[in-house]
Structures are given as structure tokens and as C-alpha cells.
Amino acid sequence: QVKRAWAEDEDRLLMEVVGRLGAQRWSLIASQMDGRVGKQCRERWFNHLCPEVKKGEWTAEEDQIIEQGVAEIGTKWSEIVKRLPGRTDNAIKNRYNSNRRR
């Protein structure tokens, strides 16, 4: 599988296919995308296209929720994500690690 940037028409097609099939069964979705695999489609959807995913600035409250979650349960991002609707587990992990480096 060759890594390449997503084109606008691929984004439109992915949004259309996910609209029809739902945001699950990624290998089935990928079968309708030329040259893409399920993992690429899933990551593109959740990290860039999904309308429920927040991409804006992080709030102090969100940072506090992340810190509290890590203090209580460790770095179980799939559990901490339940406390921050609209953020992805990967975005939360990245935010935590970047705050750690500061």
C-alpha cells in the first residue's frame, strides 16, 4: 500500500460511502474506494472528516479531565475518550504527551 495524500474527490466519496454504510465495516467501505484500505479510511474519517469530532482549541477543562483520567486509570485512552465527547483517543493521547513535554 502506497502512502499518498487524500484528494478532495476521495474525501467526498468517503463521506458518501460512510453516509450509506455507517462508520463501521471499514474493509467494506474501502472496497468502494480505489487504492485505499480500511485502516486508511477509518483514520481519515475519525481524524479529519467526521462532523462529531472536535478539532478546535483545547480548553483548560479538557486538559484537567485528561490529567484526572490519567491519574485515576493510567493511559487508557479508550476509557478517557468517554469523558471527552467529540475528541478522539489519538487526539487525547497527543494532547497529553505534548502537555507533558512543556
What would the mean pLDDT of 12-26 be, rounded to a whole number? 97
CATH class of domain segment(s) 8-49: mainly alpha
Amino acid 55: pLDDT = 86
Task: Name the segment(s) of the chain with CATH classification 1.10.10.60.
Answer: 8-49, 60-101
Amino acid 1: pLDDT = 65
What would the mean pLDDT of 20-30 be, rounded to a whole number? 97
Distance (Å, whole) CA 41 – CA 91: 17
Distance (Å, whole) CA 70 – CA 96: 9
Q: Is the pLDDT of residue 56 over 70?
A: yes
Q: What is the pLDDT of residues 29-54, one digit of tens each?
A: 999 999 999 999 999 998 889 999 99
Task: Look up the pTM and report it.
Answer: 0.72
What would the mean pLDDT of 1-24 be, rounded to a whole number? 93
Q: Considering the domain 60-101, what is its CATH architecture?
A: Orthogonal Bundle (1.10)
Amino acid 45: pLDDT = 95
Distance (Å, whole) CA 53 – CA 3: 24
